[in-house]
Structure 1
Amino acid sequence: MNMELQTKKQMNIFKKIWLGGISVVFLLLALGVVYESISSYIGVKNSPPPGQLVDVGDFKLHIHKQGTGSPTIILESASGSASNVWHDIPNELATFATVVTYDRGGYGWSEKASSDRTGVNIAKELYSALKKEDIEGPYILVGHSLGGMYSRLFAKLYSDEVEGVVLIDSRHEGYSEKTNPLLLEAGFNPVLSGYPPKHILNLLKQTGIIRILNIGNPDTETSVNIEMRPKFFDAREDELRNLAATEAALSDQSLGQIPLRVLTHGKPIDFVSFGLTEEQSRFMEDVWQQQQEQSLQLSSNSQLIVAKSSGHFIIHDQPELVINTIKNLVNEIR
């Protein structure tokens, strides 16, 4: 009998501890939600958009124009990158041309779009914003990574207004076909490109966990307040889930005689750090570089430029090379 009473007492104690622990967790989560809500409101209020919010139908697109004169250089960011990812590059380019940076629907200061995040929709939204702001061509399109595919689609849709294209370590439309089987074999979800699902990221954001992890780092303050919001996680994942449609839209593209410059990284990407084997990592790198060379076939006036000191983010590793490549192309067109 005493043993039974003692066991019951122990069970009651464990139950109270467990319920207490659960209560503490829920209390912390509730405090996190309040903390994030207040901090996010203040952060957004203190970080106004540098450009204009332009109505493109069902949402407003943030577009930032700098400089004057022709041509107009349009900078298209990579997946997961807002317009401020270009750092000082727009300022340098604005000394000799008009420069446009912008946030795709859901990114940065732009509102969330209701249409699917296909490359065609993204290109049409940008074109609409340019026309509404009276930012005329001729255009030189500069796209980094996935942004290179969106730049190419813009050139395909509005070829008469495009005079040059610069692809900065741009993803090729055949990359998924070549690499998805390997990624699936290695246990990765190729659709999300290694990112956690949006519902997990939204939960981490709304409970303040993302902000807490970045406390004390001033470099990420704008990112946490402006970029890492639920609308961004939704948009990025939607872009990736619509990647097949974007790739298909580029399958038969030809730029004709439009000048094309292809910048590719010189330092091999180490996919081993992402969980692949060395052999798999070499395969991924080989496919990427082979397809960079294949991109030259898009135009009869093309050139491959290797950024020898750069990884994938050439715009950060060798910004001067990016600026000079664009400047040389502008001078050639003029």
Structure 2
Amino acid sequence: MINQNKIEIFQKGKNGTPIIIFTGIGCSFDEWYEVTDLLSQSNRVIMFHRPGLGESEIGNEVRNTQSVVNEVNEMIHLLKLSEPVILIGHSYGGLCAQHFVKVHPNKVVGIVLVDSTSVDLKVLDDLNLPVLNEESTDEYWMEKCHSYSLMNQGELTKIIKPTLTEKQKLFMKDIQQRLIDFQVNPSLYKAMHSEISNWKRDADIIKNLVEYPNIPLIVIGRDKEHCINLGVMDGLPEWELRVFEEKWQELIMYQANLTQNSNLIFAQNASHSIHFDRPDIIIESINKLNYFLLMGEFLQND
């Protein structure tokens, strides 16, 4: 129990520096099945579902990055993690990880941001992209999430028609079922509505907190051209996709300037879901951090 709510926590592996994974908005930690299976061979891996996700209970509290910081800090205490941890943050989870490391720098020994949401995400709203913006504004998603949060599982199943990716279909049957059930939980959409409604305000708060600590940071970004090609295949305007992807890449590159002790990697042939498309890069990044912890020397990119 954390803050009087039941929180779903998953642990794998017993040795090595603990790794805590922050998932993106609307994302299950079961999506990380392949990555954690490999990481657990060298590290103790800890994943959790924020309130409203999976089996984690949600109340009427505001869902923002500060809430996540408080919950993860309490989770560290409950799990009796006495040593600093490695954080992996994907998408919105990367925003949460950036907040956590600024508030609790002594509890983090390294961080991997995986195509992370930027503290400057507001600049994306300034892009004049008529087609892309038609169904991608915060207001659009908040309205959609609110309506979904009022439905039951049966109604959600009919509307969403939950599916699995080809890679997810290779997962164990119980993991596949959990991923299906995850998508038709009304509480998920209640949580998403609150997180989306607060994330721009959260980003401003994080940006204005103390300087980012000088600990090893690995920033992984998606493949710009690959994402443009995927969008074109879906019938979206190439020029809009290019404008958006170039600005997204610029924000990713800026994250590598948060500390002088950083690596910047662009994952070839990867979409936003790098943990699906290029799990090897995430594994390699953790290996670098493990090397640093062992040798005291961070492997910089050439």
TM range, normalised to the smaller chain?
Answer: 0.7 to 0.9
Q: Matched residues, percent identical?
A: 24
Distance 1:209 1:227, change over 3 A: closer
> In the alignment, what sits opposite 1:235?
191
> In the alignment, what sits opposite 1:160?
106
Q: CA deviation at 1:198?
A: 2.2
> In the alignment, what sits opposite 1:109?
55
Is 1:71–2:17 an aligned residue pair? yes
Alignment of 1:112-123 (within 5 A): 112-123=58-69
Is 1:225–2:181 an aligned residue pair? yes
> In the alignment, what sits opposite 1:208?
155
> In the alignment, what sits opposite 2:293?
333
Is 1:262–2:262 an aligned residue pair? no
Aligned to 2:8, what secondary structure does the other structure show? Answer: strand
Report the structure number with the largest CA radius of gyration.
1
Answer yes or no: is the 8 Å Cα contact 2:224–2:246 preserved in 1. no
Q: CA deviation at 1:203?
A: 5.4
Distance in 1 between residues matched to 2:219 and 2:121, nearest whole Å? 16
- Say which is worse superposed, 179-188 or 83-92, in terms of deviation: 179-188
Distance in 2 between residues matched to 1:196 and 1:318, nearest whole Å? 33
Aligned to 1:130, what secondary structure does the other structure show? Answer: helix
Q: CA deviation at 1:81?
A: 0.3
Distance in 2 between residues matched to 1:223 and 1:97, nearest whole Å? 24
Residues 210-263 of structure 1 deviation map (CA, whole Å, 9 limit, x = unaligned): 258648979563233244211111001110011122101221353232000011
Distance 1:305 1:228, change over 3 A: same
TM score, norm. by length of structure 2: 0.83
Answer yes or no: is the 8 Å Cα contact 2:222–2:272 preserved in 1. yes
Distance in 1 between residues matched to 2:278 and 2:290, nearest whole Å? 19
Q: CA deviation at 1:287?
A: 0.7
Q: CA deviation at 1:318?
A: 0.9
Which blocks of at least 5 consecutive residues in structure 2 are unaligned? Answer: 170-175, 295-302
**Which of the residues 246, 254, 268 maps onto 1:294?**
254
Answer yes or no: is the 8 Å Cα contact 2:105–2:213 preserved in 1. no
The ranges of structure 1 where at least 4 consecutive aligned residues each deviate by more than 6 angstroms after the TM superposition are: 215-218
Distance 1:192 1:169, change over 3 A: farther
Distance in 2 between residues matched to 1:213 and 1:262, nearest whole Å? 33
Answer yes or no: is the 8 Å Cα contact 1:179–1:284 preserved in 2. no
Aligned to 1:304, what secondary structure does the other structure show? Answer: strand
Distance 1:235 1:155, change over 3 A: same
- Say which is worse superposed, 243-252 or 207-216, in terms of deviation: 207-216
**Which of the residues 145, 149, 158 maps onto 1:198?**
145
Distance in 2 between residues matched to 1:149 and 1:236, nearest whole Å? 14
Answer yes or no: is the 8 Å Cα contact 1:155–1:162 preserved in 2. yes
Distance 1:265 1:212, change over 3 A: closer
Answer yes or no: is the 8 Å Cα contact 2:101–2:213 preserved in 1. no
Distance 1:283 1:215, change over 3 A: closer
> In the alignment, what sits opposite 1:32?
none
> In the alignment, what sits opposite 1:33?
none
> In the alignment, what sits opposite 1:179?
125
- Say which is worse superposed, 94-103 or 67-76, in terms of deviation: 67-76
Q: CA deviation at 1:182?
A: 3.0
Answer yes or no: is the 8 Å Cα contact 2:52–2:190 preserved in 1. yes
Distance in 2 between residues matched to 1:115 and 1:121, nearest whole Å? 9
Distance in 1 between residues matched to 2:156 and 2:198, nearest whole Å? 29
Is 1:148–2:104 an aligned residue pair? no
Distance 1:216 1:276, change over 3 A: closer
Q: CA deviation at 1:183?
A: 5.3
Q: CA deviation at 1:275?
A: 7.5
- Say which is worse superposed, 200-209 or 226-235, in terms of deviation: 200-209
Distance 1:282 1:216, change over 3 A: closer
- Say which is worse superposed, 312-321 or 194-203, in terms of deviation: 194-203
Amino acid at match of 1:288: W
Q: CA deviation at 1:69?
A: 3.1
> In the alignment, what sits opposite 1:19?
none
Equivalent pairs counted in the alignment come to 280
**Which of the residues 239, 251, 266 maps onto 2:207?**
251
Superposition RMSD on alpha carbons, in Å?
Answer: 2.6
Distance in 2 between residues matched to 1:173 and 1:56, nearest whole Å? 27
Which blocks of at least 5 consecutive residues in structure 1 are unaligned? Answer: 1-54
Q: CA deviation at 1:62?
A: 1.1
